[in-house]
Amino acid sequence: MPWGEMSAMSLRREFVMLARQEGSNIRALCRRYGIQPRIGYKWLARHAAEGEAGLADRPRRPHSSPGRTPPEVEAAVIALRAKHPCWGGRKLRRRLCELGVEDVPQASTITAILHRHDLIDPAQSAQRTAAVRFERQAPNELWQMDYKGHFATARGRCHPLTVLDDHSRFALAITACADERAQTTQAALIAVFRRYGLPDRMLMDNGPPWGDGAARPWTIFSAWLLRLAIAVSHGRPHHPQTQGKDERFHRTLKGEVIDRRGWQDLADCAQAFEAWRHVYNAERPHEALGLAAPASRYRPSYRSFPETLAPIDYGPGAVVRKVQAKGEIWFANHEWPVGKAFTGQPVALRPTSVDGRYDVIFCHHKIAELDLREARP
């Protein structure tokens, strides 16, 4: 007779009563009741020791939990999570180890602790997906730059300008700007160049101040970068994934800083940004870096920022033209547009392998192409 057809207590009482009778075959009785002999002997032993109360169900939780995380370690997990509400189990574990906490549990255990204390939003957790990551081979090969969406303070709006090294994810700058004009951006970037040196290339979107969205996205700002021997790349229009690292950095900045409190003014923002930038670079474990901090993979550029620029020299024999007021040059008896961003600057024309076609070069960077076969008579 299976246990499920009667109440468990009734079956146990009946089994014990029959098993205690003189001459009872306990193993055969166990087969009749559909239970293992060890279960039958267990109930007999409990009844002998405790009477009918011994037949009641008991909680399966052990009297002690030798594998349970020590209270002081669990408290350290909760305290670090309170300080960094967006960090998950892997980041928290890495940082606790770095802080010298003893007996730090595995990341899965830390995640379980967070769940137990209702510190993880199940909906947000379900939305997380593994990222496909690409990166440059060395620091300063490529910097990504963009403005994070502006937000209100008590005395105006703040436009955070972020600059991120592609290889190390090192945050070179989070500057609280009053606007997004070229002059503002250039002043902020000069401070970054003076501290960390010059990158080989910078990646930006197509909007102002570094692009005009046209087929030739050159602006005075991007021409200035070329003058510093920094190559310029622009992301595909309406395709923010091109600057995925900076976009992801903006999400982290928003979640861990911007949305956490109200803001008084730009000085208030700047102070908070710089404090968090240190945490991000030196303390916060980064998933894409094997939970290392970005500062462990970054080193300043060997190319120092030139306070004074030397004159542009294309070498002897070069065909050089000065860009006129409307952004055009005169060559082969025709006017050719190269971009108003280069007005007043010298450019060189170099023949290509195709007869009649020339590359227009500004400071070793190709900025345009002209084809003499397209010239109007």
How far from the centroid of its chain's Cα atoms is residue 169's Cα? 8
| Position 278, amino acid | H
Do the Cβ atoms of 228 and 364 come closer than 8 Å?
A: no
- CA dist list (Å): 341 to 2, 67, 97: 88, 67, 52
Do the Cβ atoms of 41 and 54 come closer than 8 Å?
A: no
| Position 15, amino acid | F
State pLDDT tens for residues 290-304: 778 888 889 889 999
Do the Cβ atoms of 309 and 227 come closer than 8 Å?
A: yes
Q: How far apart are CA 189 and CA 185, in angstroms?
A: 6
Q: How far apart are CA 179 and CA 157, in angstroms?
A: 8
Sequence-ordered alpha helix ranges (H) in 84-106: 89-98
Do the Cβ atoms of 199 and 188 come closer than 8 Å?
A: no
Residue written as tokens 């952004």?
A: 327
Backbone phi, then psi, for 82, in 5-degree steps? -65, -35
User: Domain coordinates of the chain in residue numbers?
Assistant: 3-55, 71-127, 143-296, 319-374
Which among 1, 8, 92 is positioned nearest to 43, based on CA atoms? 8
In CATH, what number does 143-296 get? 3.30.420.10
Which among 336, 309, 303, 301 is positioned nearest to 321, based on CA atoms? 336
| Per-residue model confidence (pLDDT) at position 308 | 92
The per-residue pLDDT string of the chain (377 residues; one tens digit each, 9 = 90 and over) reads 444 444 677 778 778 877 887 777 888 878 877 888 888 888 888 888 888 788 887 776 655 555 567 777 777 877 877 777 777 777 777 787 778 877 777 777 777 777 776 666 555 554 454 444 456 678 899 999 999 889 999 999 999 999 999 988 899 999 999 999 999 999 999 999 999 999 999 998 877 777 765 545 688 899 999 999 998 888 665 545 556 677 888 888 898 899 988 999 999 999 999 998 888 888 887 676 677 888 888 988 999 999 998 899 988 888 999 999 999 999 988 999 998 889 999 999 999 888 889 999 998 888 889 988 876 55
